[in-house]
Structure formats: C-alpha cells, structure tokens
Homo-oligomer: A and B are copies of this chain.
Amino acid sequence: MNQTVNLSIEDLQARVTAIFRNAGLNKVQASSVSAVIVAGERDACKSHGIYRIEGTLRTVKAGKVRANATPRLIEGAGEAIARVDADGGFANPAFDLGLPELAERAHRLGLAALVITDCTHFSALWSEVEAVTEQGLVCMAMCPSYATVAPAGGSKALLGTNPFAFGWPRPGRDPYVFDFATSVAARGEIELYRRAGKPLPEGWALDATGAPTTDPESALAGAMLPFGEHKGSAISTMIELLAGVMIGDLTSQSALDYLGTTTLAPKHGELILAMSPERFATGRPGDPHSRAEELFEAILGQGARLPSQRRFAARARAKAEGIRLSADEAALLDRLEALGLDAID
C-alpha cells in the first residue's frame, strides 16, 4: 500500500458522495458537502480535502448535525437580505440554495446579503466566495467558529479563528480571492510544531494562565492569538458581531458551549455580502474590470503574489491530470467506503 492513486475530479466526487450517502446524508447534503471536499483536494488545499471526511462523519455520528436536513429560504428580513435556514444541516447546501436569491438581489439593488443560520460549518469560505464571483459579483464572507482565540490584551479563548474572505470577479480568468483565519495561525499549525518538538514563534499563543507561551503543548491547552494584534482582534470581534450576534446565531463561545469540544465541526451561521461592480460604477469614469486588472498587474509586477494563485495552479493541474492521492489517503478513502460511520471512533 505505498502506491499513489490518480482520480479524475468526477470520480473522486462520486466516491466522496457515496461515502456521505452511505453515512445517512440525504442527497442535497451529500452532494454539496462532497463538492467542497473535492474542491479542496482539487486545489491542493489538503487541510480542507478528504482529510475532512472523518471529522464531518464524526459530527454526524455525534448527532450534532442533521443528516437529512432540507434548507429553506426565509422571507421577511428586508429586501436586501436573502436568508436560508440550514435546518441543522451543513452550510454548503444552504449556500447553494441561497446563491441565486443573493445574486438576483445584488444585481437589482446593487448590494445584498445572504444570511445562513443553523448550519454546521466545516469548509473554507473560498468556495462560496468564488461561486459569488461567478455571478459577476464582488463578495465578502465571514463566520465565527468556536472559542479558541483570546482577544488582544486578554487572557483566554473567547473568539474563534473566524475566517474572513473576499472575492473580486475577473471575467475570463480565475477571480481575485482571499480567505484567511483571523487567528495568527491555525490550530493545525500549532499541532505540527508540537509533533516536531519545536517551539512556536513569539506572539502565537497564550498558556492556560493567560501568559504568552512558545510551548505548543501549553498553547493547545491555552488560547491562540489574533493576527495583527489589536487590529486582527478587532476584525475577529466584528465577525462575532456581524455573523453571530446580528444574524441571531451562535457566537464562537456559544458554539463551543453547544458542542463541548473542538473535535467536531462547529455549528453557527454565516454572513455573505455581494456587490455589483456595474451598479456601483454607474455613471462613473473607467471600467472597474480593466482598472482592477491594472492594480493586479502592478502587484504582480513588483514580485508580489495574488492570494490563491497556488490554489488556482493546482486546480489547473487537477483538471488536466486528475487528483493524486497518497497511498495513505487512498487507504483512508477505501476504509471509509467499506465501513461508513463504523470507521469513526
């Protein structure tokens, strides 16, 4: 079992969907969830690829997500707000349902929001941001997670790793997309330092007493810190307010209280804003698309990268050559296919 395996995107999608169907997810949940996992593998975003299947199934097995949920549109919040109740299922099928509503409102009004509530979230935001840009819209997206990050100047976990993502459509090419955790590092990165027996960089974490630490073990028992000190901390707090409190869904603290663990996918809501560049630029000089390209060229021209470049390059390779799984990854897939939920501790 040390052979790598090559699969087409479609074949991997079929296999992951079958695993989720076999674990009891209904059609709409299984197909949306598997699509974002396969997108992670396709883009060589291994942390959001098939590695996520086990955690997702563990959340199903723990009864913390509804496998047969049917998301539905909710009216009445205001004309610029599209809302989807995820019915206790995963965020992804709720997003798929809400996207056309969001796009219609943003194109018509210039600006609109998609609010998803009562969902379990385990995937990156970039797949949703990209889907919005495919509608010719600019996108900003954010959600809480669970309390593992201390506010700047604080002593214990209260905020989540709270991702913040943005997308700008580039007709005919891959969009400008960024998507990052507002913590200085991901929990998984700290875990890698622990396994390697290496100290953490300064400024990453606090120990359980609230003192700064570079010891990975102490950090995992304590709290991570926000990126960019008080500025990142402010953005993370903004995300708790907008995508937790304002939309009437869980904050990172209440999500952790609900789950009681960080080993399951977190339950909360999500806020996605969409803007029409054509609407905003109405009557103004210059075409926003060609002006954006000038900005991107100026960034690239001085040797800096655009975010997501590596991901898009991996995607192009996967489309041409298929997705390569390591022997361990292929074995994991085989095991999950054979055992279903029984493969999960």
What size tier do the contact residues of chain A reach?
35 or more
- Of chain B, the residue at the smallest CB distance from A302 is B154
A283 CB contacts on chain B under 8 angstroms: 74, 76-77, 248
* Proximity bits, A238-252, B CB within 8 Å = 1, else 0: 101110011111010
Q: Which residue in B180, B233, B245, B304 is a CB contact (below 8 Å) of A231?
A: B180
The interface stretch among A65-73, A112-120, A213-221, A314-322 is A112-120
Give the CA-CA distance A275 to B108 in the complex, in Å: 18
Oligomer: number of copies: 2
A117 CB contacts on chain B under 8 angstroms: 284
A325 CB contacts on chain B under 8 angstroms: none
- Of chain B, the residue at the smallest CB distance from A109 is B80
Q: Which of A151-203 contact B (CB under 8 A)?
A: 151-156, 158, 164, 166, 168, 176, 178, 180, 182
Nearest Cβ in chain B — how far from A176, in angstroms? 7
A176 CB contacts on chain B under 8 angstroms: 237, 241
Nearest Cβ in chain B — how far from A141, in angstroms? 12
Contact A280 B109 (CB under 8 A): no
Give the CA-CA distance A110 to B240 in the complex, in Å: 19
Give the CA-CA distance A101 to B281 in the complex, in Å: 18
Nearest Cβ in chain B — how far from A137, in angstroms? 11
Contact B77 A110 (CB under 8 A): yes
Confirm or deny: A344 has a beta carbon within 8 angstroms of a beta carbon on chain B: no
Give the CA-CA distance A292 to B180 in the complex, in Å: 24
Contact A78 B234 (CB under 8 A): no
A231 CB contacts on chain B under 8 angstroms: 178, 180, 182, 227-228, 232
Contact B282 A78 (CB under 8 A): yes
A180 CB contacts on chain B under 8 angstroms: 230-231, 234
Q: Which residue in B78, B140, B292 is a CB contact (below 8 Å) of A276?
A: B78
Nearest Cβ in chain B — how far from A307, in angstroms? 6
Contact A77 B282 (CB under 8 A): yes
Give the CA-CA distance A110 to B81 in the complex, in Å: 6
Contact B178 A292 (CB under 8 A): no
A286 CB contacts on chain B under 8 angstroms: 245, 248
Given contacts A281-B248, A307-B230, contact A111 B153 (CB under 8 A): no
Contact A280 B247 (CB under 8 A): yes
Nearest Cβ in chain B — how far from A337, in angstroms? 38
* Proximity bits, A114-153, B CB within 8 Å = 1, else 0: 0101000000000000000000001010000000001111
- Of chain B, the residue at the smallest CB distance from A117 is B284
A158 CB contacts on chain B under 8 angstroms: 298-299, 302
Confirm or deny: A305 has a beta carbon within 8 angstroms of a beta carbon on chain B: yes
Q: Which residue in B76, B112, B227, B292 is a CB contact (below 8 Å) of A111?
A: B112
Q: Which of A245-299 contact B (CB under 8 A)?
A: 245-249, 251, 253, 273, 275-277, 279-286, 288, 291-292, 295, 298-299
Confirm or deny: A345 has a beta carbon within 8 angstroms of a beta carbon on chain B: no
Contact B303 A251 (CB under 8 A): no
Contact B151 A292 (CB under 8 A): no
A selection of 6 A-B contacts at a CB cut-off of 8 Å is A80-B110, A111-B112, A111-B113, A111-B273, A164-B235, A235-B235
